[in-house]
């Protein structure tokens, strides 16, 4: 029994010593609307010591600090944009999982629509070019020059003359 | 002794790969059949030596030989046997050895089953395959040797990272690698076609099954990795847009596009040049994935710069192979003749549209993954690109793709009838609209996007089924004839149906999980009850337990519905002694396709434990979809056409070749 209790104490001590875990019960705000705003914001903020995890998902102590900070700002009456600005001012653009549009990120943001449009245009042009080249081939082969026509008529006439 | 033999076998495999990468090329140039045939024997021998080397490493891990650095750093004598084996590829050196083993496996398979390939094509394919192999053998031997010894062997190992000690992660990397590396075959075929300056529908018929095999493995590998993250990482997320995940998604998107363009090439002899390019790109993305994951560039650009040996080596491999193959493409692609013409509204047109959207999606993932790295290198500015970015850019691409998807199989080759296809899809449209209305009414307001997405998913599923219904004439013809027709239908048609329906099913799962997920986060003591989505969960007890190489705190919950106990769930939190780290073992209870999910947090000073309980509606569909897709792939692979396509006896073909 005493061994079991010792084991329990040890396990408790070890779990307590390790990192905390995503959203903790004691972090949750009493106002449900504010809490859901905090959760929404948390999903867009990066835990800076993790690999591409939002602070909403991360177990790292830093993420917990950021979650508490977000809730603090919301409790103080900040709007979502104000909270974001506050965090960016403090931690830099790196904290945003969705980078803001600026001169450094427009390639990132516009590549998808541009690639789609460029691909579509390329396909359209390619299709038109190939259709035209086929049409040209079709119209090009059967045509005869006037001289050729005249000569053919001559030949036909020459063929027919002796018979009649 | 075993370590040295393994090392030696690897060196021999490298030597064989060098022979395989040169001699058959010369043979093809001089039309010397004995030299071309060298490719075959070296490929098989290479496979045997790599297998021996891999077996040696497995033996070292199983016997806990801590005089080998790799075993010391990643194993522990108390570790269960299964994780001793899977620990082999749970680290950098071992996973690279697995990589080349699978590469050799595919090379060996081409050598063994490629009897009916034209001689010179086989020689070129195996030579190209050996170039890749040589590069990676050299990489392993110079920078990542798994057989290094320690001068003074310690008595105990450092154990494997505990989150990797899980059956899901044991199977996930081999699956993923079978997919990644499988695309090397289509790459080698593309390079061979470019060198030979010849490509035809028969080429596509050869490449398609190999691509399909790789695609099936990659699909299941990705799905498995996602499910692993879902239950092991402890907060119920299943896709994080993490660069490592993106690294596997990119080849999947390109590979899916390749599968579809290969169909056009096989049936209509069109899109040749594009298909070649896509084969090159798909494997290049696999190489890129290997580079991203293995070079350490993701953790930090600086970590990469501090210990650049491995990273620079793989980067070099990447540049040589991608640059080389693309230059070859630029030089030789114009010599390949363009094939059949088709109208924009046709089966070919639909498949081209599929390719356009899939490659754009791939480009989006590519830029989202690499942009932060590039920006940091160029300007020193650090930004993050995460899930919210991809949800905005990647997600919308799939809407037009999925709307167009059911039309594709209903359009005729060359010139299709869009109106006719639309009329036949009327039933699917009605089903989609009904689903939309029902979901809308049921959820009463809430998210507006979710019911639309569900409607789209139902449209895709119903569209896939209608294609089959139309083709076998169900409801039009007497059932007996319809059944007969169903039997006669090519398996690839059934494969298409399952794969396409799988996408719709996965979409339903994704939408339901993200929109109607409910959670309850609280601290609980024994006897407390928490409720979520109509379930009451009572914490019965908290008990410490001792596992083989960990200690854990297990919580026992009874699940009650209307006061009736229906099940018990026991989530736990494990502390691994050697590494001093903990993992969360979530408890999952499936109710149909939905799941209850409990994960434990920390224990407070008063003995109450933080508990997070989720109800995830229809979450299992997220993985059931890919399973269906892979099943469709297997059906398609077993198609008669692919078996009949291969029957000519090797001898007569060789005779034909000799007469050439």
| pLDDT tens per residue across span A103-156 | 889 999 999 999 999 999 998 888 888 777 777 766 655 667 788 888 888 888
Closest CA–CA distance from residue A38 to any residue of chain B (Å)? 15
Residue B5 within any structural domain of the chain:
yes
Query: B492 and B524: one domain?
Result: no
**Residues B332, B334, B338, B342, CA torsion sign:** positive
| The pLDDT value given to residue A142 | 60
- Contact map slice: B 515-534 vs A, CB within 8 A: 521-523
Residues B290 and B339 in one domain: yes
Do A83 and A127 belong together in one domain? no
Domain enclosing residue A69, as ranges: 2-95
CA distance B18 to chain A (A): 39
Does any domain span residue A104? no
The pLDDT of residue B23 is: 95
Cβ of residue A7 closer than 8 Å to a chain B Cβ: yes
| pLDDT tens sequence across B138-171 | 999 999 899 999 888 888 888 877 777 888 778 8
Report yes or no on B81 lying in a domain: yes
Give the pair of three-digit tokens for residue B443: 């959820």
Q: Which residues of A touch B363 (CB under 8 A)?
A: 111-112, 115
Spatial neighbors of B603 by CB under 8 A, at least 6 apart, are A12, A15, A16, B542, B553, B609, B610
Is residue A102 situated within a structural domain? Answer: no
B552 shares a domain with B448 = no
Do residues A73 and A122 both lie within one domain?
no
In a domain, B372, yes or no: yes
Range A80-103 average pLDDT = 90
Do B13 and B56 belong together in one domain?
yes
Number of domains composing chain A: 2
Q: What pLDDT score was predicted for residue B181? A: 94
- DSSP state for residue B88 in the 8-state scheme: G
Residues of A whose CB is below 8 A from B242: 51-53
Contacts of B456 (CB under 8 A, 6+ apart): B399, B402, B403, B432, B504, B507
Residue B510 falls within a domain, yes or no?
A: yes
Give the pLDDT confidence score for residue B342 in this predicted structure: 83
* Residues B539-546: contacts with CB under 8 Å, at least 24 apart: B539/B609, B539/B611, B540/B568, B542/B603, B542/B607, B542/B609, B544/A4, B544/A7, B544/A8, B544/A10, B544/A11, B545/B572, B546/A7
A107 is a domain residue: no
B340, closest residue in chain A (CA to CA): A130
Please judge whether A99 and B612 are an interchain contact, meaning their C-beta atoms are less than 8 angstroms apart.
Answer: no
Indicate if B602 and B585 belong to the same structural domain: yes
Low-confidence ranges of chain B (pLDDT < 70): 299-307, 338-339, 445, 640-660
Q: Which of residues 318-357 of B touch A (CB under 8 A)?
A: 338, 341, 344, 352, 356-357
Report A:136-155 residues touching B (Cβ under 8 A): none
Residue B650 belongs to a domain: no
Q: Is residue B59 part of a domain?
A: yes
Q: Which residue of A has its CA nearest to B391?
A: A98
Q: A4-56: per-residue pLDDT in tens? A: 555 444 444 443 333 335 677 778 888 888 888 998 899 889 888 877 788 88
- Search chain B and give the residue with CA nearest A43: B388
Phi-psi region of A29 (alpha: psi -120 to 50; beta: other; left: phi over 0): beta
| Contact across the interface for B386 and A52, Cβ inside 8 Å | yes
3-state secondary structure of B89: helix
Cβ of residue A46 closer than 8 Å to a chain B Cβ: yes
Kindly state whether residues A76 and A9 are assigned to the same domain: yes
The answer, for B632 touching chain A at a CB cutoff of 8 Å, is no
Residues spanned by the domain of B321? 177-409
In angstroms, the separation between the Cα of residue B384 and the nearest Cα of chain A is 5
pLDDT at A5: 52
Global confidence as pTM: 0.89
B140 lies in the same domain as B216? no
Task: Give B-chain residues touching A59 at CB under 8 angstroms.
Answer: 234
Q: What is the CATH number of the domain that holds A65?
A: 1.10.8.640
Both A42 and A119 in one domain: the answer is no
Please report the pLDDT score of residue B335 as a whole number: 78
Q: How far is A106 from chain B (nearest CA, A)?
A: 11
* A66 part of contact set with chain B, CB < 8 Å: no
B397 vs A: CB within 8 A: yes
> What is the domain count for chain B?
4
Is residue A38 assigned to a domain? yes
What length is written for chain B?
660
- Same domain? For A88 and A136 the reply is no
Is residue B610 within 8 angstroms of chain A, CB to CB?
yes
pLDDT at position B648, please?
43
ipTM above threshold 0.90 = no
Shared domain for B249 and B203, answered yes or no, is yes
């Amino acid at each position: 029994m005493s061994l079991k209790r010792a084991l329990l104490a040890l396990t408790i001590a070890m779990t307590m010593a390790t990192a905390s875990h995503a959203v903790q019960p004691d972090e949750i705000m009493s106002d449900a609307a504010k809490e859901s705003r905090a959760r929404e914001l948390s999903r867009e903020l990066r835990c800076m010591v993790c690999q591409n995890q939002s602070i909403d998902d991360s177990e790292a102590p830093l993420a917990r600090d950021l979650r508490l900070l977000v809730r603090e700002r919301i409790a103080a009456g900040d709007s979502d944009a104000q909270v974001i600005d506050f965090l960016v001012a403090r931690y830099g653009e790196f904290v945003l999982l969705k980078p803001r549009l600026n001169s450094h990120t427009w390639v990132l943001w516009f590549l998808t629509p541009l690639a789609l449009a460029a691909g579509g245009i390329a396909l359209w042009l390619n299709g038109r070019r190939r259709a035209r080249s086929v049409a040209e081939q079709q119209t090009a082969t059967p045509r005869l020059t006037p001289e050729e026509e005249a000569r053919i008529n001559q030949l036909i006439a020459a063929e027919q003359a002796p018979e009649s | 002794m075993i370590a040295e033999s393994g090392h030696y076998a690897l060196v021999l495999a490298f030597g064989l790969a060098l022979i395989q990468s040169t001699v058959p090329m010369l043979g093809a140039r001089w039309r010397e059949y004995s030299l071309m045939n060298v490719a075959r024997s070296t490929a098989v021998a290479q496979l045997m030596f790599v297998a021996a080397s891999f077996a040696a490493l497995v033996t070292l891990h199983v016997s806990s030989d801590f005089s080998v650095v790799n075993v010391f750093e990643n194993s522990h004598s108390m570790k269960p046997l299964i994780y001793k084996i899977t620990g082999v590829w749970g680290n950098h050196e071992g996973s690279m050895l697995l990589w080349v083993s699978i590469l050799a496996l595919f090379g060996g398979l081409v050598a063994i089953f490629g009897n009916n390939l034209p001689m010179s094509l086989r020689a070129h394919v195996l030579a190209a395959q050996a170039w890749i192999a040589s590069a990676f053998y050299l990489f392993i031997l110079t920078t990542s040797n798994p057989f290094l010894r320690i001068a003074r062997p310690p008595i105990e190992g450092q154990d494997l990272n505990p989150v990797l000690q899980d059956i899901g992660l044991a199977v996930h990397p081999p699956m993923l690698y079978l997919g990644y590396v499988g695309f090397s075959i289509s790459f080698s075929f593309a390079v061979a076609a470019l060198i030979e300056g010849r490509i035809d529908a028969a080429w596509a018929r050869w490449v398609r099954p190999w691509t399909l095999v790789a695609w099936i493995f990659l699909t299941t590998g990705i799905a498995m990795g996602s499910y692993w993250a879902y239950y092991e990482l402890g907060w119920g997320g299943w896709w994080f847009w993490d660069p490592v995940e993106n690294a596997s998604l990119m080849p999947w998107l390109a590979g899916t596009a390749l599968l579809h363009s290969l169909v056009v090439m096989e049936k209509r002899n069109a899109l040749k040049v594009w298909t070649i390019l896509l084969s090159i790109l798909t494997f290049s993305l696999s190489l890129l994935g290997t580079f991203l994951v293995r070079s350490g560039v993701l953790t930090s650009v600086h970590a990469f710069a501090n210990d650049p040996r491995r990273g620079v080596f793989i980067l070099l491999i990447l540049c040589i192979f991608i640059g080389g193959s693309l230059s070859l493409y630029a030089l030789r692609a114009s010599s390949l003749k363009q094939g059949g013409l088709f109208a924009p509204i046709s089966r070919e047109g639909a498949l081209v549209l599929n390719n356009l959207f899939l490659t754009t999606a791939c480009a989006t993932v590519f830029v989202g993954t690499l942009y932060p790295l590039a920006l940091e290198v160029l300007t020193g500015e650090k930004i993050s690109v995460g899930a919210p970015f991809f949800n905005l850019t990647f997600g919308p691409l799939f809407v037009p793709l999925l709307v167009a998807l059911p039309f594709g199989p209903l359009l005729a080759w060359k010139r299709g009838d869009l109106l006719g296809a639309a009329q036949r899809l009327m039933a699917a449209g009605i089903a989609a609209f009904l689903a939309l209305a029902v979901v809308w009414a049921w959820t009463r307001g809430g998210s507006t996007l979710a019911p639309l997405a569900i409607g789209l998913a139902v449209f895709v599923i119903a569209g896939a089924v209608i294609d089959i219904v139309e083709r076998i004439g169900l409801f039009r013809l007497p059932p007996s004839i319809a059944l007969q027709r169903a039997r006669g239908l090519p398996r690839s048609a059934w494969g298409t149906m399952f794969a396409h329906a799988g996408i719709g099913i996965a979409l339903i799962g994704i939408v339901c999980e993200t929109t109607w997920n409910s959670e309850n986060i609280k601290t609980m003591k024994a006897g407390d009850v928490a409720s979520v989505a109509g379930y009451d969960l009572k914490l019965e007890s908290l008990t410490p337990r001792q596992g083989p190489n960990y200690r854990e705190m297990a919580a026992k919950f009874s699940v009650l519905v209307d006061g009736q106990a229906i099940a018990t769930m026991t989530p736990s939190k494990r502390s691994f002694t050697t590494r001093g780290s903990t993992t969360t073992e979530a408890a999952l209870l499936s109710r149909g396709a939905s799941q209850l999910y409990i994960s434990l947090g920390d224990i407070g000073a008063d003995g109450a434990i933080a508990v997070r309980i989720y109800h995830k509606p229809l979450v299992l569909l997220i993985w059931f979809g890919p399973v269906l897709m892979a099943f469709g792939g297997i059906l398609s692979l077993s198609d008669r056409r692919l078996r009949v396509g291969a029957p000519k006896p090797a001898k007569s073909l060789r005779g034909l070749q000799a007469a050439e």
